[in-house]
Amino acid sequence: MKRFFALAFTLILAVSAAAQVKGPVAPAMTPEQIKSSESLAAKFDESAAREKRRLETFADRPLGGVIQRSFNIFTNYLVMAAEMMPESSYGFRPTPDVRTFGEQINHATGSHYSFCNQAGLPPGVQKQTAPNLAGVTSKPAIVAALRESIAYCDRILAAASEAWLMEVVPGLGGSSSGQIRAMRAHAFIYNTVHSAEDYGTITTYLRMQGVVPPSTALHPRP
């Protein structure tokens, strides 16, 4: 139980930090970036409409609802970042010993399947596993795989009841202590925290390639 609340607290801190972090003022956006940002904002609005339907039953899903809402925030940013980065920059890596941008997105995709399958599946959801993305460098293929991984986790969370999420089960990872017994919700909270970490990582790649991250492009500071 202590581990569960510690993870929940970490998630809250991550959301708060993402909203409040300050850094160098972003350079002025080019007309092409503005057009791209406006298009992405429209896509963000589409997902917001989907989220609004979920929030109508939020009172009945205080645990699952907040996990799904937080997951949607960061994964929307991940998808927008993947779409904003030019395909010519998918092979970019800030230093020789880290992943390329494309590999970092593929890492996020694989992690979604790993964490969302950890706790088992609620009734009505068919199991999917991560596709083999080794050597995949095509932007359309990478973005499509990322989207499907998010949709898969989304289907699980939409089908998960509060009682199912609160069941304590063995074999959950994402902890320095290895496999632990915890609520099923643990896996989904950790998945959201990890998605936030992945987004924070790729903002560096975007900035170094002259691309304004979507969280800044959509909510510019005055």
Using alpha carbons only, what angle is made at residue 155 by residues 150 and 157, rounded to the nearest 5 degrees?
A: 95
Q: Which domain, by its residues, includes 177?
A: 2-6+32-215
- For 7-61, how does the pLDDT look when each residue is reduced to its tens digit (9 = 90+)? 454 444 444 444 343 334 344 455 555 555 556 656 566 556 655 655 555 667 8
Q: Within a domain: residue 39?
A: yes
This prediction's pTM: 0.76
- Higher pLDDT: 220 or 42? It is 220
Q: Across the chain, what does the average pLDDT equal? A: 82
Q: Which range (5-14, 25-34, 120-129, 191-200) has the least confidence? A: 5-14
CB 183 within 8 A of CB 166: yes
Distance CA(130)–CA(113), nearest Å, equals: 6
Helices 62-84 and 185-208 meet at what angle, rounded to 10? 20
Average of per-residue pLDDT across 129-135: 97
Statement: residue 170 has pLDDT above 70 = yes
Q: Within a domain: residue 150?
A: yes
Q: Within a domain: residue 174?
A: yes
Q: How many domains does the chain have?
A: 1
Residue 31 amino acid letter: P
Average of per-residue pLDDT across 135-145: 98
Average of per-residue pLDDT across 129-133: 97
Q: What pLDDT shows up at residue 181? A: 87
Q: 3-class SS at 168?
A: strand
Q: Which range (39-43, 190-194, 196-200, 203-207) has the least confidence? A: 39-43
Statement: residue 195 has pLDDT above 70 = yes
Tokens for 172? 């959950």
Average of per-residue pLDDT across 177-186: 83
Q: 3-class SS at 131?
A: coil
The one-character DSSP state at 25 is P
Statement: residue 125 has pLDDT above 70 = yes
Q: What pLDDT shows up at residue 220? A: 74
Q: Within a domain: residue 49?
A: yes
CB 152 within 8 A of CB 111: no
Q: Within a domain: residue 207?
A: yes
Q: Within a domain: residue 135?
A: yes
- For 59-116, how does the pLDDT look when each residue is reduced to its tens digit (9 = 90+)? 678 899 999 999 999 999 999 999 999 999 999 999 999 999 999 999 999 999 999 9
The CATH number given to whatever domain includes residue 59 is 1.20.120.450
Statement: residue 206 has pLDDT above 80 = yes
Torsions phi, psi for 179 (to 5 deg): -70, 135
Q: Within a domain: residue 197?
A: yes
- Higher pLDDT: 27 or 134? It is 134
Tokens for 118? 């950890």
Q: What pLDDT shows up at residue 37? A: 56
Q: Within a domain: residue 24?
A: no
